[in-house]
Amino acid sequence: MAIDPETVAHIARLARIKVTEDEKAALAGELSTILQWIEQLDEVDTAGVEPVSSVVDAVLPWREDRVTDGGQAEKVLRNAPEAVPGFFAVPKVVE
Amino acid sequence: MTTPSELTHLTLAGARDGLAARRFSAVELADAHVAAIEAGRQLNAFITETPDQARAMAAESDRRIAAGEARPLEGIPLAIKDLFCTEGVATTAGSHILDGFRPAYESTVTANLWRAGAVMLGKANLDEFAMGSSNMTSYHGAVENPWRRQGDNRPLTPGGSSGGSAAAVAARMALGATGTDTGGSIRQPAAFCGIVGIKPTYGRCSRWGIVAFASSLDQAGPMARTVRDAAILLGQMAGHDPKDSTSVPLPVPDFEKALDEGVRGLRIGIPREYRIEGTPPEIEALWQQGIAWLKDAGAEPVEISLPHARYALPTYYIIAPAEASSNLARYDGVRFGLRVPGGSLDEMYENTRAAGFGAEVKRRVLIGTYVLSAGYYDAYYLKAQRVRARIVEDFRNAFQQVDAILTPATPSAAFGLGENMDDPLAMYLNDVFTVTANLAGLPGLSVPGGLSAEGLPLGLQVLGRAFDEATVLRVGQAIERAAGFDAKPAMVGGAA
Amino acid sequence: MSLIEGRTGAWEVVIGLEVHAQVVSHSKLFSGAATEFGAEPNSQVSFVDAGMPGMLPVINAACIRQAVLTGLGLEAEINLVSVFDRKNYFYADLPQGYQISQFTRPIVGRGTIVLDLPGGASRSVGITRLHLEQDAGKSMHDQHPTMSYIDLNRSGVALMEIVSEPDMRTSEEAGAYLKKLRSILRYLGTCDGNMEEGSMRCDCNVSVRRPGDELGTRCEIKNVNSIRFVMQSIEYEARRQIAVIEDGGTIRQETRLFDSGRGETRSMRSKEHAHDYRYFPDPDLLPLVLSPEFVAEIKAGMPELPDAKKARFVSEYGLTPYDAGVLVGEQENAAFFEAVARGRDPKLAANWVTGDFFGFLNKSGLPIAESPVSAEALGGLIDLIRDGTISGRLAKEVFEAMWETGKPAPAIVEERGLKQVSDTGSIEASIDGVMAANADKVAEYRSGKDKLFGFFVGQVMKATQGKANPALVNEILKRKLAG
């Protein structure tokens, strides 16, 4: 599958990465090359094969319902590039 | 009195014994390494050096040793790949987007190491978000391999993504290092730098506190100069962690002790699909040499088939970017790291992520976004998950016949810094031998086997059954002994 | 079936609801931070909830139990294997850049809710699925002219998304569905159902069609936070869609917001970008596997639910379905009634609970647990009526005094001397007095003016300050007047 610059723009938008016109064209070429190489997987017969999303041979562990965390607003907010006392802050969102 | 350069040339096991015998102090050991790091800054192996922390931790180790309370890694100075979150110490993942980030928490693996008495020298350079095989994608600059081709002083790549860790250990700046391996990021740089690296079984080491690249593939492991050193480190890094749902609740065996068992009677699989066209003859020759060494040591080589191995790399380049595209969504300029202002929330996101991520990271995030997007999910992502099932099945069948598998670690020796940068596919091929172990979740070790015609180290890879790192290490040690690899890089502790 | 009459004929409204119900648990779905409402901003946030690098989710066992319990309460299939997926999108209050949810394999499959409709009718609504997911944080847009503030206290709190089939046809049915669902959740203790605090929120899918036609294009009204608003928004939205179609337009599938001030829905422009959530199984988690024994154990511990309780109230206590329905709506009310009825006449108990008691309770706005009259106290009052200590008429006065003072019925009867007089001697004396004072009326009565009997009863009761046993007064008066 070849990817055109419009598709690059669409997925860049989904991924929230700004791309310039030049980048769009270059990425379209690079991503197309990679995808075409990936498409050799079509040769593999996978009829009736269950997809594998984890190779861990175990079941999901559960934890007890106890409050063991939190109460550390200062630590949570400490690394924020922009914060007002008690909150993270972002450019205003209009709903 | 031991000289600083003698101290940095010790093995980890040797340093441990020397500390226990009080031949030198932990502070002396730390100081020697701190000095080697300073002298070797040209390699750019570290993003952040932590000499004060190293000395403080070493002083505590000396106190404990004096009090007879030494712990398993007491006073051992280590480099930590800058993908492990370290409390209060800048953690960058090799990316601009984590500018200024100082975690308020410590990763489980590093916490385990400090609890065992190890000493932190600093945070080692890496490919950005561990995405790369050359360490060229780091925002903090490329790392130089301490090795040089004979008669050629042009800098070479240490491999990646754990390139800083590998270079630091090879150049005698650290007795060992942590790495992470998603497609070969421990084993390929270990091979390029002439050291030992093991990616344990998925679930053996906790992923908690390690900046995630591809969650179903990422696994932490040790890098060191000998198989024994790697075994000692792995024993302390590993262990069940209730904070990681994919961490497996199994006891950690005594890997160092397991080394004594040798390889007599082991059946070693030789996968015919690993004979890849275009592989340099010296790689093929080393592989044959490895088979012969193991045979001499009493093991039995068995030809096996891994029919889907050749599809591992394209499978990986769907799954890893897909997971990464989601894992890297949290780098959005809101709660930590870089923020580039924008008129709206979305503009702020787009500006921040455009400026914060490098070209390779963007490429992978976009590929990952694409293969998960509506209309393509089945054709790419689900297909890859199905091929992954095939690969898992291949190994399951193979390990019914054999106890371990021997392959080359990489399709070439270290290449020049900056080579392959304009061709992502050529770069991806570095992982062709290593990536299967990540997809199947199996342990894989890279051990130096000899030198290329140009005088560069070449590695062999040993793969094993899930949670059977002990056998992998035993086979690795048999190769290590037979190879008698004692070549040293051109640049050691800053001295060329 | 109720239809809406448009300009061009009748329209049928098709409604499906997606309810987000906050799971009752101490800690969050995937972290150990607390879930309490109203805490200081960002004080109930773990590094996991803040999406810090390297943080990993670990599931809360209690949330799994609550989801299974709710599934059983909705008579739904419990899926022994379910999977957590990531729903990827960017938003300021979504720290990870994805929400952990269940997409292809939810923990609970198809189930049913029976609606209680006016006039005692009922109607089944299908449940499509129930899945567990994380809540997002909260954005505050009104604190600063150019910034929105983010509080992550809610981030990671467990929600159950309960999706209905498009089985409802009127806003009343939608209201009845939410009431019934809330009642079931409260009975189970899996969600407190408090819509004001946001622990239950509703998205309404509304479309219109000509009766018998294929389903029309639907619009989704997001995040409506009261039952009344759900009903208003559906009503408005249905009429809006009909008007659009009747004017020759077409309905565009979109997300809309209900403006409760104007009673209107409006398009949410911020949601107009085409969504592509790129769901995939969360690689940080493994499939959630339940054993049949685990499910059986939860089933064995299930409380009696409203439908079963209602049926029992009708069969066991002989209540009308209406009274039974009123009593079982809230578990506490049903329990109160049963405490009052224990060892007493259940119909009398039901009359008192649904009558004076609920009347006073509603007027006071108090929760039943804080009522000044306990079930025991109300039972005491009923006992006094049954044994003839007080008359039914005076009982209302006693009840009012109990409500005001919190004192038990016997104390009030004693204090105010309201004891019913059943001593025939004293009643006869009173009757004699009344007859003597009204000799003319006695003569009229005896000459055939029977209607005066009521007058004499009134006079006697007045003379005894209402305390005379009415049955005895009747009997003795009749005898004496007869001469």
Cβ C53–B103 below 8 Å, yes or no? yes
Instruction: Give the Cα separation of A39 and A42 in Å (integer).
Output: 6
Distance from CA of A84 to the nearest CA of B (A): 12
What the block records as the tokens of B299 is: 């093991």
Instruction: Give the Cα separation of B59 and B53 in Å (integer).
Output: 10
Q: Given CB atoms, is A68 within the 8 Å cutoff of chain B? A: no
- Residue found by looking up tokens 């012969």 in the block: B292
Q: How far apart are the first and last CA of chain B?
A: 25
Question: Which phi and psi angles does C403 have, rounded to 5°?
Answer: -60, -40
pLDDT at B494 (0 to 100): 55
Cβ C278–B326 below 8 Å, yes or no? yes
- Residue B137 makes CB contacts below 8 A (sequence gap 6+) with B94, B127, B128, B131, B160, B358, B359, B360, B361
Nearest to C58 among B104, B242, B328 (CB): B242
Please report, rounded to a whole number, the percentage of residues in chain C having pLDDT higher than 90: 74
Distance from CA of A71 to the nearest CA of C (A): 5
Q: Given CB atoms, is C38 within the 8 Å cutoff of chain B? A: no
Q: Per residue in A65-80, is it b (16+ CB within 10 Å) or e — as a string?
A: bebebbbbbebbbebb
Nearest residue to B379 (alpha-carbon basis) of B371, B368, B387: B371
Nearest to B365 among A17, A40, A51 (CB): A17
- Residue B476 makes CB contacts below 8 A (sequence gap 6+) with B196, B198, B227, B230, B445, B447, B462
- What would the DSSP string read from start to end of B287-347? HHHHHHHHHHTT-EEEEE--TTGGGHHHHHHHHHHHHHHHHGGG-SSSSSS-----SSHHH
The reply to whether B390 falls in a domain is: no
Neighbours of chain B (3+ CB pairs under 8 A): A, C
Compute CA distances A26 → A5, B230, B322, whole Å: 8, 42, 21
Does residue B72 contact residue B235 with C-beta atoms inside 8 Å? Answer: yes
Instruction: Give the Cα separation of B368 and C278 in Å (integer).
Output: 10
Average pLDDT over residues C82-92: 97
Chain A residues in contact with C59 by the CB 8 A cut-off are: 60-63
Average pLDDT over residues C11-20: 97
Q: What is the pLDDT of residues B1-55, one digit of tens each?
A: 578 889 999 999 999 999 999 999 999 999 999 999 999 999 999 999 999 999 9
Cβ C278–B325 below 8 Å, yes or no? yes
- What would the DSSP string read from start to end of C31-64? SSBB--TTPPTTSS--TTTTT-TT----EEHHHH
- Residue B435 makes CB contacts below 8 A (sequence gap 6+) with B183, B184, B312, B313, B316
pTM listed for this prediction: 0.92
pLDDT at C2 (0 to 100): 78
Cβ C59–A63 below 8 Å, yes or no? yes
Instruction: Give the Cα separation of C217 and C254 in Å (integer).
Output: 9
- Residue B362 makes CB contacts below 8 A (sequence gap 6+) with A17, A19, A27, B354
Closest A-chain CA to B371: A35
Distance from CA of A83 to the nearest CA of B (A): 8
- Using N-to-C axis directions, what is the helix angle for C171-188 and C227-246, rounded to 10°? 150
Distance from CA of A33 to the nearest CA of C (A): 22
pLDDT at B216 (0 to 100): 97
Instruction: Give the Cα separation of B17 and B446 in Å (integer).
Output: 25
The number of C-beta contacts closer than 8 angstroms across B and C is 99
Q: Nearest 5°: CA angle at C63, between C45 and C138?
A: 35
Q: Nearest 5°: CA angle at B334, between C254 and B326?
A: 65
Instruction: Give the Cα separation of B356 and B347 in Å (integer).
Output: 14
Query: Per DSSP, what are the bridge partners of residue C270?
Result: none
Q: Which helix (H) or strand (E) holds C294?
A: helix C292-300
Collapsing DSSP states into helix, strand and coil, what is residue B365?
A: helix
Nearest to C92 among A64, A65, A93 (CB): A93
Q: Given CB atoms, is C50 within the 8 Å cutoff of chain A? A: yes
For the C424-481 domain, the top CATH level (class) is mainly alpha
Closest A-chain CA to C27: A67
Q: Nearest 5°: CA angle at A9, between A8 and A15?
A: 85
Query: Exposed, middle or buried: residue A2 (CB in 10 Å: 0-12, 13-18, 19+)?
Result: exposed
Q: Which helix (H) or strand (E) holds B66?
A: helix B51-66
Rama region for B424: left / alpha / beta (φ>0; ψ in -120 to 50; rest): alpha
Q: Per residue in C307-344, is it b (16+ CB within 10 Å) or e — as a string?
A: bebbebbbeebebeeebbbbbbbbbebbebbbebbeeb
Cβ C90–B207 below 8 Å, yes or no? no
- Which residues 18-57 of chain A have a CB within 8 Å of chain B? 18-19, 27, 30-31, 33-35, 37-44, 46, 49-57
Q: How far apart are the first and last CA of chain A?
A: 37
Does residue C204 contact residue C238 with C-beta atoms inside 8 Å? Answer: no
Residue C164 clears pLDDT 90, i.e. is over it: yes
- Asked which of A19-28, A79-88, B392-401 is least confident by mean pLDDT, the reply is A79-88
CA dihedral of B70, B71, B76, B78, whole degrees rounded to 10:
-150
Cβ A55–B216 below 8 Å, yes or no? yes
Cβ A79–B101 below 8 Å, yes or no? yes
Measured from the Cβ of residue B115, the count of other Cβ atoms closer than 10 Å reads 13
Closest B-chain CA to A16: B350
Instruction: Give the Cα separation of C272 and C290 in Å (integer).
Output: 39
Q: How far apart are the first and last CA of chain C?
A: 65
Nearest residue to B185 (alpha-carbon basis) of B144, B208, B213, B227: B213
Nearest to C42 among A59, A73, A94 (CB): A73
- Asked which of B120-124, C44-48, C446-450 is least confident by mean pLDDT, the reply is C446-450
pLDDT at C387 (0 to 100): 84
Nearest to B332 among C47, C90, C280 (CB): C90
Count CA atoms closer than 13 A to C185's CA, side-chain side. 26
pLDDT at C271 (0 to 100): 54
The reply to whether A65 falls in a domain is: no
Distance from CA of B118 to the nearest CA of C (A): 22
Residue at A88: amino acid letter: F
Q: Per residue in A7-27, is it b (16+ CB within 10 Å) or e — as a string?
A: bbbbbbbbbbbbbeeebbeeb
| Radius of gyration for chain A, computed over Cα atoms and rounded to the nearest angstrom | 22
Residue C100 clears pLDDT 90, i.e. is over it: yes
Does residue C396 contact residue C413 with C-beta atoms inside 8 Å? Answer: no
Count CA atoms closer than 13 A to B213's CA, side-chain side. 32
Count CA atoms closer than 13 A to B41's CA, side-chain side. 8
The reply to whether B84 falls in a domain is: yes
Measured from the Cβ of residue B433, the count of other Cβ atoms closer than 10 Å reads 32
Chain C residues in contact with B214 by the CB 8 A cut-off are: 283
Residues of B annotated as catalytic (active site), given as ranges:
81, 161, 185
Domain ranges of chain C: 4-297, 302-415, 424-481
Average pLDDT over residues C216-230: 94
- What would the DSSP string read from start to end of B207-246? -TTBPPS-TTT-EEEEEESSHHHHHHHHHHH----TT-TT
Q: What is the pLDDT of residues C270-296, one digit of tens each?
A: 555 668 999 999 999 999 999 999 999
What the block records as the tokens of C168 is: 């409802």
Does residue C33 contact residue C52 with C-beta atoms inside 8 Å? Answer: no
Instruction: Give the Cα separation of B182 and B438 in Å (integer).
Output: 6
- Give the pLDDT means over successive 10-residue stretches in chain B (496 positions): 85 97 97 97 98 98 97 98 98 98 98 98 98 96 97 95 98 98 98 98 98 98 98 98 97 96 97 90 96 98 97 97 98 98 96 98 98 95 97 98 98 91 85 97 98 97 98 98 96 67
Instruction: Give the Cα separation of C183 and C331 in Å (integer).
Output: 8
Neighbours of chain A (3+ CB pairs under 8 A): B, C
Instruction: Give the Cα separation of C433 and C435 in Å (integer).
Output: 6
| Radius of gyration for chain B, computed over Cα atoms and rounded to the nearest angstrom | 21
Q: Given CB atoms, is C141 within the 8 Å cutoff of chain A? A: yes
Query: Exposed, middle or buried: residue C374 (CB in 10 Å: 0-12, 13-18, 19+)?
Result: middle
- What would the DSSP string read from start to end of C342-395? TTS-HHHHHHHIIIIIHHHHHHHT--GGG-SS-HHHHHHHHHHHHTTSS-HHHH
| Radius of gyration for chain C, computed over Cα atoms and rounded to the nearest angstrom | 30
Cβ C148–A61 below 8 Å, yes or no? no
Query: Exposed, middle or buried: residue B154 (CB in 10 Å: 0-12, 13-18, 19+)?
Result: exposed
The reply to whether B301 falls in a domain is: no
Residue C213 clears pLDDT 80, i.e. is over it: yes
Best interface-test mutation with A: which of B367, B382, B427, B442 has the largest number of A CBs within 10 A? B367
Q: What is the pLDDT of residues C341-373, one digit of tens each?
A: 999 999 999 999 999 999 999 999 999 999 999
Best interface-test mutation with A: which of B206, B211, B387 has the largest number of A CBs within 10 A? B387
Query: Per DSSP, what are the bridge partners of residue B448?
Result: B459
The reply to whether A64 falls in a domain is: no
Nearest residue to B113 (alpha-carbon basis) of B83, B79, B89, B137: B79
Question: Which phi and psi angles does C331 have, rounded to 5°?
Answer: -60, -40
Cβ A86–C26 below 8 Å, yes or no? no
Q: Given CB atoms, is C280 within the 8 Å cutoff of chain B? A: yes
- Residue C283 makes CB contacts below 8 A (sequence gap 6+) with A53, A54, B214, B215, B216, B246, B323
Rama region for A70: left / alpha / beta (φ>0; ψ in -120 to 50; rest): left
pLDDT at B417 (0 to 100): 92
Q: What is the pLDDT of residues B342-397, one digit of tens each?
A: 999 999 999 999 999 999 999 999 999 999 999 999 999 999 999 999 999 999 99
Structural domain of residue A21, as residue ranges?
5-41
Q: How many domains does chain B have?
A: 1
Chain C residues in contact with A71 by the CB 8 A cut-off are: 43-44
Structural domain of residue B15, as residue ranges?
4-261
